[in-house]
Amino acid sequence: MSFPTKDDLIRIYRRRARRYDLTSNLYYLIGARVRAYRKMVVKTLGLCPEDTVVEIGCGTGLNFPLLQKEIGPRGKIIGVDLTDAMLEKARRRVSDEESINVELINIDAASFLFPTGIDGIISTFAITLIPEYDEIIRRGCEALSPGKRWVVLDIKMPSNRLSFLAPLLAPIIKPFGGTLEMAERRPWESIDKYMKHTSFAELYMGIIYIAAGERGEECC
Q: Where are the domains of the chain?
A: 6-214
Q: What does the pLDDT read at residue 28? A: 46
Q: What does the pLDDT read at residue 176? A: 77
pLDDT digits (tens, 9 = 90+) for 116-140: 999 999 999 999 999 999 999 999 9
What is the value of pTM for the model shown?
Answer: 0.92
Cβ(132)–Cβ(182) below 8 Å: no
Cβ(196)–Cβ(212) below 8 Å: no
Closest CA to 131 of 181, 59, 74: 181
pLDDT digits (tens, 9 = 90+) for 30-81: 446 888 899 999 999 999 999 999 999 999 999 999 999 999 989 999 999 9
What CATH topology corresponds to 6-214? Rossmann fold (3.40.50)
Closest CA to 27 of 131, 205, 172: 172
- CA distances to 23, 41, 67, 86 from 52, rounded to whole Å, are 29, 16, 10, 21
H or E stretch at 120: strand 118-124
